[in-house]
């Protein structure tokens, strides 16, 4: 097992720091470095927001859902990395700042990394990633009516978070786990909303 397989999350972040040329890195460069993994961190962030106390604030789940639909739809249509406005693409960060952020989060990332490995590769191929993106669109659409049910957004938010982790680590087991949670979420939502 190589280093990238044994610590997939940490290796993605290390790659972002190591491949930067010069003293500044732009959002566009980071998106290119992450390539198709760039969707994963975005879904992780949106999933975390959905399951956090912020996700319980009225209208926030609907706004998050719209962003998730925008990001996931790009995956469905096979974009290599997420589209972001040109102005945001040009936004730059000093490499030292990126390294400091990595160093601060390294302990947490290493603790999480033991959960992940590159396994069940058939569940992370391009067709599987597109299927996961379609499920994320469905979960996001479900978040809008579930906003009316207290704490119900937690389930689709968790499934989206798991898809983000699976895409970032390229871990087929977590892809299947997220799919199972998605099915459970849809079954429960039909009951809650009927």
Q: What is the 3-state secondary structure (H, E, C) of the chain?
A: CCHHHHCHHHHHHHHHHHCCCCCEEEHHHHHHHHHHHHHHHHHHHHHHHHHCHHHHCCCHHHHHHHHHHHHHHHHHCCCCCCCCCHHHHCCEEEHHHHHHHHHHHHHHHHHHHCCCCCCCHHHHCHHHHHHHHHHHHHHHHHHHHHCCCCCCCHHHHHHHHHHHHHHHHCCHHHHHHHHHHHHHHHHHHHHHHC
pLDDT of the residue at 69: 93
Range 24-53 average pLDDT: 76
**Residue 86: which residues within 8 A CB-CB, separation 6 or more?**
none
Residue, of 33 and 140, whose pLDDT is higher = 140
State yes or no: pLDDT of 1 exceeds 50: no
For residues 169 and 9, is the Cβ–Cβ distance under 8 A? yes
Count of domains for the chain? 1
pLDDT of the residue at 121: 84
State yes or no: pLDDT of 168 exceeds 90: no
Nearest to 163 by CA among 186, 192, 140: 140
Q: Which residues form the domain of 76?
A: 3-193
Range 46-66 average pLDDT: 87
User: Tens digits of per-residue pLDDT, 73-124?
Assistant: 999 998 877 777 777 667 666 767 666 766 766 666 666 666 667 788 888 8
Average pLDDT over the chain, rounded to an integer: 80
Q: What percent of the chain has pLDDT over 70?
A: 70
For residues 174 and 162, is the Cβ–Cβ distance under 8 A? yes
Question: CB neighbours (10 Å) of residue 169?
Answer: 28
Q: Read off the pTM.
A: 0.77
For residues 65 and 144, is the Cβ–Cβ distance under 8 A? yes
For residues 185 and 107, give the distance between their C-alpha atoms in angstroms, rounded to a whole number. Answer: 32
For residues 12 and 38, give the distance between their C-alpha atoms in angstroms, rounded to a whole number. Answer: 10
For residues 95 and 25, is the Cβ–Cβ distance under 8 A? yes
Q: What sign has the CA pseudo-torsion 67, 72, 77, 79?
A: positive
User: Tens digits of per-residue pLDDT, 129-152?
Assistant: 999 999 999 999 999 999 888 888
């Amino acid at each position: 097992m190589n280093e990238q397989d044994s610590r997939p999350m940490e290796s993605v972040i290390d790659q972002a720091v190591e491949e930067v040329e010069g003293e500044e890195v732009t959002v566009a460069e980071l998106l290119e470095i992450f390539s198709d993994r760039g969707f994963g961190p975005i879904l992780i962030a949106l999933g975390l927001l959905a399951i956090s106390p912020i996700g319980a604030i009225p209208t926030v789940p609907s706004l998050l859902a719209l962003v998730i639909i925008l990001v996931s739809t790009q995956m469905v249509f096979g974009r290599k990395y997420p589209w972001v406005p040109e102005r945001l693409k040009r936004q730059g960060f000093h490499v030292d700042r990126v390294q400091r952020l990595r160093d601060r989060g390294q302990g947490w990332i290493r603790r999480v990394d033991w959960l992940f490995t590159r396994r069940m590769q058939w569940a992370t191929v391009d067709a599987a990633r597109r299927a996961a993106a379609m499920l994320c669109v469905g979960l996001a659409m479900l978040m809008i009516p579930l906003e009316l049910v207290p704490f119900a957004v937690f389930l689709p938010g968790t499934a989206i978070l798991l898809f983000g982790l699976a895409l970032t680590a390229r871990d087929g087991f977590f892809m299947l786990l997220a799919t199972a949670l998605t099915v459970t979420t849809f079954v429960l939502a039909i009951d809650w909303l009927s």
